[in-house]
Amino acid sequence: MHFNLHTNQFYYGKNSRTFSADASELGFKPGMIPAVLSLTSERTGNIAGFTLNTIDKAGGMEFEPVNPALKKLGVSILIFND
């Protein structure tokens, strides 16, 4: 399943370059684990693709960018299982 999300739905950590949010705030149903996300910048309208990288023991998910330039910068998405 593919989700289209917007940067204004996330907290952005400038130092870690990580977008983070709780799964429930994004409308994820229990047990839903998307393999691919699109993130639209509220500021520029640019869209970046992200793929599932890891799932932690608590069910939190980390996504990494498809774009090599964003990957090199260390940009990521963390979605917490709440």
The string of pLDDT tens digits covering residues 25-55 is: 999 988 888 999 999 999 999 999 999 999 9
Which residues touch 29 (CB under 8 Å, ≥6 apart)? Answer: none
| Helix/strand/coil for 70 | helix
User: What is the reported pLDDT for 78?
Assistant: 97
The owner of tokens 């149903």 is 29
| CA distance to 15, 68, per residue, from 78 (Å) | 14, 18
Report the distance separating Cα 37 and Cα 3, nearest Å: 5
**0.75 surpassed by pTM:** yes
Other C-beta atoms lying within 10 Å of the C-beta of residue 75: 20
